[in-house]
Amino acid sequence: MSVLDSGGIAVRFSCLYPVPVLQPMEKEGKVSVKSCVKIMQCELEIAVLPDHSHRLIPGQRTIIRFRLFG
Instruction: Express each pLDDT in 19-65 by its tens digit.
Output: 999 988 888 888 888 889 999 999 999 999 999 888 899 899 999 99
Residue 70 pLDDT exceeds 80: no
- Smallest Cα–Cα separation from 17: which of 42, 54, 48, 47? 42
**Domain residues of the chain, as ranges?**
2-69
Q: What is the pTM of this model?
A: 0.65
Query: How many Cα atoms within 13 Å fall on the side-chain side of residue 38?
Result: 12
Encoded amino acid at 49, one letter? L
C-alpha distance from residue 20 to each of 3, 17, 24, 38 (Å) = 38, 10, 13, 6
Q: State how far the Cα of 17 lies from the Cα of 67, in Å rounded to an integer.
A: 13
- Look at residue 31 in the predicted model and tell me its pLDDT: 87
Instruction: Express each pLDDT in 6-31 by its tens digit.
Output: 789 999 999 999 999 998 888 888 88
